[in-house]
Structure 1
């Protein structure tokens, strides 16, 4: 199997996930008879109470045809639990979100708070909060039920961005509109790309082409495999409905879920059959791979693309572009320069350039209070707002208390206003 087919196979495995339903049905009235003759066990009360101390999950019962109701209780912190094994007995529930069953010196096991980097970060935040060292624009880390970082993080008054289980910023950023953003930003597509890159891509010869994402890290409602395109759920990525099109005969607009506002390059899909639904970056990658494979078939040792770069999850090029003169500039999804952010080769700003601040200010372009960016598009280490200054990290998040006296900040340096200084290097 050649390299291009390998890429498509990986994409198939990660994208085309079906939900299979059983074709075995019970006779009408069976459960009514079953419940009358056999009876159902008393259901745990946690599902009906479902408060701060009693929670549970309603599930299909482990009875014939799932005739009975069933509730899986979630045990709270410090309650008894079972770790399994011979002679350990069985439990009807499990430890709740953020808890794990831990053996104790008394010979029993109890539900304890999981040990994780996210929980440690929460503890650090709480300790600093008690000591009065937390700033007004700081927010505590949010952990999921497995102890990992939540799928996104938000900077108050700025933007929200997707993050990995380890709390590292990944693709996907939108304006922070409070509940409107947090309810709709699930980052499933972005997190899938991050896991592919971490666990699979390094072992493959060519970059992996995964499902296409939208700017918020969700799944683009249209996904294509080879020449066949489908509508999918933007949260789960699963195929939605039975309608699909073949680009050899129908344009992408024939799909009911086509949204012109999400089509970054509509010119790519215009014209006559056979149609396309692609991006300049994806086309460039495809052509380079085909050229390499064809050259090798012809007996040439092609070494033109030693570092063949993949595309971002939305199918676009990197947000850092190298100019003909060798400098680096910050660009948007269409490769147009953002502001005048630039870094010259041979400088530390060139090496540390991440353009995160440039991207954030572009998203906040309609707002008056935007962060100050360094000349290379990174966040300036000290940000000021309404008479108060604060230290921020490379993602623009505040750490430590703010002050009206900039010299009292832990990150203060005499040349902090210099947008080309060492305060502008990525941390």
Structure 2
């Protein structure tokens, strides 16, 4: 079926309109005109964001590290967004940030970061997550939002495509039984991606994680209480596992402080928050900046974080300062005078937070 370009004639279907032999191309919609239908740009939140960007560019209001929003063929937000010289992270159709972040490597990231698993988890939670009493366990993801290359169903494990999550075409008949083997024996096993190697060494092996096992334990206790005709209520709720099946990127240490941790639970630098001394920093902690710094490794010009691991609202680079949002994205034109920035607060020291 041929694709029509912007401004070309198109058919909206219906009685007496004849057979449709083509459709409008990606990002276009068949709009009714005064005399005929034509292919025009879709109306969507992502396209509106692009329009606002373009207008600011024409007015000379863009910052050096701002990037034009990317939309897919349906006018929705692209599967991931990148911050120049920093990282790329998965995003939902509506532009919300999702689990999954990698170093921004340009074309390499474009070819390897697909975010299919992360987006599946988001869809699963939005459709059925709020309608069930216990957490719903989705497929295991890797740190970049792709599918973990192995999927297990009733102790039988298969190799799956990291982009689609379906059984791999390279190993369509290969599988192992966890009662007798471990996932490390599958040809698609990648040790660097396995955050829970200790489960592979058990006999029999299990395809799980400490977070999922804690969830399952609490669910079992609730079900047992119902059978015994009393209600067991975990007032803190069930532990929330990330799509990679870990507890999360914020942990609480023995002193009761929140700390930023990586995917293996190791503390990142000294980022922390104390509920007693700084309740606001404790409650608003997201560790996004700390995680970005960890991914950047030894690269220069890392972002500056607040003590709790969040992005500092004002970032400076090569003598110019800029405002950023909670994801580290520049929001307005940079300047050499920080007092001219909209995010500058004269009542606080912008250098510390």
TM-score (norm 1): 0.78
Report the Cα offset of residue 98 of structure 1.
0.1
Contact in 2 for aligned 1:208/1:310 (Cα 8 Å): no
Report the Cα offset of residue 317 of structure 1.
0.7
Unaligned stretches of 5+ residues in structure 2: none
The aligned counterpart of 1:208 is: 136
SS in 2 for 1:242: coil
Report the Cα offset of residue 96 of structure 1.
0.4
Contact in 1 for aligned 2:260/2:272 (Cα 8 Å): yes
The aligned counterpart of 1:285 is: 215
Q: Aligned equivalents of 2:236 and 2:191: distance in 1?
A: 36
- Of residues 267, 270, 281, the one that matches 1:349 is 281
SS in 2 for 1:395: coil
- Of residues 204, 226, 251, the one that matches 2:182 is 251
TM-score (norm 2): 0.94
Report the Cα offset of residue 351 of structure 1.
2.4
Report the Cα offset of residue 125 of structure 1.
0.7
Please give the root-mean-square deviation of Cα atoms over the aligned residues, in Å. 1.6
The aligned counterpart of 2:87 is: 159
The aligned counterpart of 1:339 is: 269
Post-superposition CA distance 1:223-281 (Å, at most 9, x none) = 11231111001111110111111111211112111111111121121033x21122111
Report the Cα offset of residue 141 of structure 1.
0.5
Unaligned stretches of 5+ residues in structure 1: 1-71, 421-427
Contact in 1 for aligned 2:214/2:239 (Cα 8 Å): no
The aligned counterpart of 2:17 is: 88
Instruction: Give the paired residue count.
Output: 347
The aligned counterpart of 2:78 is: 150
Runs of 4+ in 1 over 6 A off after TM superposition: none
1:371 is aligned to 2:303: yes
Report the Cα offset of residue 326 of structure 1.
4.5
Q: How does 1:42-191 map to 2 (within 5 A)?
A: 72-106=1-35, 108-191=36-119
1:419 is aligned to 2:352: yes
Contact in 2 for aligned 1:330/1:342 (Cα 8 Å): yes
Q: Aligned equivalents of 2:66 and 2:43: distance in 1?
A: 23
Q: Aligned equivalents of 1:357 and 1:298: distance in 2?
A: 47
Q: Aligned equivalents of 2:336 and 2:18: distance in 1?
A: 61
Q: Aligned equivalents of 1:400 and 1:214: distance in 2?
A: 33
Q: Aligned equivalents of 1:75 and 1:261: distance in 2?
A: 45
Post-superposition CA distance 1:78-104 (Å, at most 9, x none) = 111111122232220001000011112
Contact in 1 for aligned 2:251/2:260 (Cα 8 Å): yes
Report the Cα offset of residue 340 of structure 1.
2.1
1:410 is aligned to 2:342: yes
SS in 1 for 2:38: strand
The aligned counterpart of 2:319 is: 387
1:322 is aligned to 2:252: yes
Contact in 2 for aligned 1:222/1:258 (Cα 8 Å): yes
- Residues 416 and 224 (structure 1 numbering): CA distance in 2 closer, same or farther, change over 3 Å? farther
